Structures are given as C-alpha cells and as structure tokens.
Structure 1
Amino acid sequence: MNGGGTPLQRVRVWDLPTRVFHWLLASAVIALVITAKVGGNAMVWHFRLGYLVLALLAFRLLWGLVGGRWSRFVHFLYGPGSVFAYLRGHAGPGGHFEVGHSPVGALSVFALLAVLSAQVGTGLVADDEIANQGPLYRFVSGDTSATATDWHTGAGQWLIIGLAVLHVLAIVFYRVAKGRNLVGPMLSGDKQLPAGTPASADRLAQRALAVLLLALCAGGAAWVASLGG
C-alpha cells in the first residue's frame, strides 16, 4: 500500500514496442554523436544510424496514435493549466500525472522528438563539401543545404546533447529527491500503482502491429536513402 492506504498493484504502463523504441533511440543517438565527432570512415555508420533514427521517429509518430494507452499522445498532451498544476504539486485527475509521462516529462519528450526530427531532416539535405552529402541534397538549393548543414553540425547537435543531459539529470533528480525510479519501468514495463489504474495493452496483437509498422517505417527510410543514388 502507499502512504494513503490505497492498495498497489503491478500495472503495465510501457508496452514492449515503446520500451524497445526508447532504448534503440537512446543507443542510436549516442552512436550518432560519437560517429559525427570521429568523422572519416565512421560517417558511413553515421548515415546508417541516421536512417535508423528516421525509421524510429516515424514509428513513434504512428505508435503515438495506436500504441498502448500511456504511449499515445492523447494521454500526455497536456495544456498549460496541467503543467502549472503539476508544478504546484497536484497529482492530476485520478493521480494520472504519475502514471505515464508527467506534464513536464511530456514537454521533454516532445522537445526531443522535435529536435531529433529537425536534426534528421537537416542531415538528409546536408553537404560537408568534402565527401558526404545527404540523400536529398540534390532536391534543394545550395543556400538551403548550407543553412541545414550549419544547423546539423552546430546548434542542432548541441541541442540534442543538452536535452539528453537534462533527461539524465531529471532521472537522477526524481530518484534522489522524490524516490521515483524512472528507469526500472522502462525496462520491465510495469509500475506499482493504485488498484484500478488503467493499463496499456501489451499483448501479442499489439506487438505484431508494432513489428508491421516498424517494417513499413524501415522500408520508407531505406527508400529515402536510395534517393541519394
């Protein structure tokens, strides 16, 4: 039971496709930063990882519409009122601010997805004027490519690093200051929550749908890569 005497039970919050997406994306972003810094022959892997992130972002967009309850955008798309209420310490209707993404956590998620999308998009049309061009470079003007390249190698890269650092610091803060383990549920999928808390569907049918969607997104990313000739 929690401090208020309400019985707790294991509730599936993060479905398997969401968890796999999370850890694949985190690993790919780290590897992208490393390969960008190394340069040279590592740029082959930088491009491959970029296409992987493109596929993952497309998948997350679709999964945010049809995935498990707490992975759907509709369940963590909060208005300003909810954000301010959360900052004042309110738990939200039925305590649901503490189930999936909190209002502040949701802002972090959307910011990361937006910045990563911009980074992938600019990378697709970038040109380092040495040996590497994005597959869509030939479809834009030289000025557009130059602007995209400046963002991709400068502000965009540092924004991603900054948001990733803030993400880690937030995890540490919640663990130390609030006693909440955010990593464990993203590994197991479950949280100890009050009885009656709605769970995310995570059965074979949902997982099969996720595999199909990811395959379609991977095919789309491969098609984009092929446009580079």
Structure 2
Amino acid sequence: MKKLIRIWDLPIRLFHWLLVACIVASFITVEIGGNAMEWHAILGYCILVLVVFRICWGFVGSHHARFVHFIPSPRRLFTYISGGSKASLGHNPLGALSVLALLTSIGLQAVTGLFANDDIAFEGPFAKYVSSGTVEFLTSLHHLNEKILIILIVLHLCAILYYQKFKGDNLIGPMILGDKEIDPSEESKYLTADLGHASKDRGLQRGLALLLLSLIAVILGYFITA
C-alpha cells in the first residue's frame, strides 16, 4: 500500500496556480495592447504581491516550502549532478535553482513594470519619481527580461515533461493535490529528512498565509496607488 506524504501546502499550491494564471494573462494583455494594458498593469501588481508572498513564505512556511530546506549548497548540487544524491520529495537541487531563477525573473519583471513607459498606452506608477534615462533603462530591461522569462518558463515545462516521461515522476499531481505517493519499498531512495518532515497544512498555517498575503497586498497597494 502506497504512503501519502504532504509535500505542498495549500498556500504554495494556490500561489503556484494563481501565478501561472496571472503570467499567462499578462502575456495575453500585452499582446492585445491598447486598453488591455490597464489589465496588464493590474496583473503585474498581483504578480508582485504573489512573488513577495512566496519570498516571505520561504522563511515562515511549511517544511518543503522553506528556502533553507531546498536551496542546495555547492557540494550538494555537485553530488546531485554526479548522480550520488538521493531523491528529494520537494525540489531537487536543479529544481531549486530553477525556482530561484523564475522567482528572480518574475520579480524583476514586476518591479521594472512599475517604472516602465511605452509612450503609448502605459506608464508605470513610479515612472514619475525617476529620471527619463532611468525610465528608459528600466523599460528596456523589462522588454529584455520578458524574453529571458519565456526561456525559463519553457525550460521549466521541459523539465516537468522530462521527469514525467523518463523518470516516471509526476510533478504536477502533488502541486494540485499537495501529496506525493511513496511506495514503502522505495523509501530508501529518498532523503530521510524529507520522509520524516511532511509539510504542515492545517487551518492555522493557512490562516497565517492569508494574513501575510493580505498584509503584503495592502502595503504594496498603498505605495502603488499613493
């Protein structure tokens, strides 16, 4: 009988899929342009709130969501690449680097969008506080990072398909349901620390996440609309 271990708590799962929806919608609205840029801006604000929440949750969230439990040391990364490391229930070392790269790129895209100006239909709320040269630089960075972000997303999707097809590891299921199925006969191939630390996912944990997300949204909303 297979064993279920809670890997991703509800806050992480909601964060992930809300971020996916907002990113997809932001790409669509920027392609439409015109009046849709107002929605593009709103989506950018939502993305920024989600990214800041994920960073905070990386310090106070459940076991597998915390940076300290999945960001690899250089030694662990080398061991994993050389094939000498046990499997991780959460992010493996390369997956951890992928998460950091995506969060950095997405966060940079959201922040530079606050200063961007396309001289047609959109001007970021903070563009008026910096020089025209700075606005031009950050706008260019916004457009350049868009291409980098697309590449990172494609690599992320390819990695998911690779693990599904060649390693038989379903990464999407746990991000939807939260749990990972472990065959007791295969427990030895996983890190002991992972097997002994299921992520907490109860009302108190979820309430803390909601409070944190609301607080971030209010603070960022205040500065953006001030």
TM-score (norm 2): 0.92
Count of aligned positions: 216
Q: Distance in 2 between matches of 1:14 and 1:22?
A: 10
Q: Which of 143, 149, 163 is the matching residue for 1:174?
A: 163
CA distance in 2, matches of 1:28, 1:122: 17
Aligned-partner Cα distance in 2 for 1:90–1:22: 30
Secondary structure class of the residue paired with 2:180: strand
Confirm or deny that 1:42 pairs with 2:36.
yes
Q: Distance in 2 between matches of 1:183 and 1:52?
A: 23
Match in the other structure for 1:199: 198
Identity %: 46
Question: What pairs up with 1:57-72 in 2 under 5 angstroms?
Answer: 57-72=51-66
Asked if the contact 2:76–2:85 (Cα under 8 Å) also holds between the matched residues in 1, the reply is no
Write the deviation string for residues 97-132 of structure 1: whole angstroms up to 9, x where unpaired.
421110000000000011111111111011111231
Distance 1:182 1:85 in 2: 22
What is the match of residue 131 of structure 2? 141
1:125–1:135 contact (8 Å) kept in structure 2: yes
Equivalent AA in structure 2 for residue 83 of structure 1:
L
The counterpart of 1:162, out of the listed 151, 155, 165, is 151
Question: Structure 2, unaligned stretches of length 5 or more?
Answer: none
- Tell me, yes or no, if the aligned pair for 2:15 and 2:50 is still in contact at 8 Å: yes
Q: More deviation in 180-189 or 196-205? A: 196-205
Aligned: 1:23 with 2:22: no
Give the C-alpha shift of residue 89 in structure 1.
Answer: 1.8
In the other structure, the counterpart of 1:215 is 214
Equivalent residues of 1:135, 1:224 under 8 A apart: no
Partner Cα separation in structure 1 for residue 196 and residue 3 of structure 2: 9
What is the distance in 1 between the residues matched to 2:74 and 2:12?
26
* Corresponding position of 1:122: 112
Determine which of 79, 87, 92 is the counterpart of 1:85: 79
The Cα shift of 1:188 comes to 0.7
d(CA) in 2 for partners of 1:224, 1:50: 14
Q: Which amino acid aligns with 2:111?
A: G
2:122 corresponds to 1:132: yes
TM-score w.r.t. the length of structure 1 is 0.90
2: distance between equivalents of 1:27 and 1:166?
18
What amino acid does structure 2 have at the position aligned with 1:113? L
Question: Cα RMSD over matched residues?
Answer: 1.4
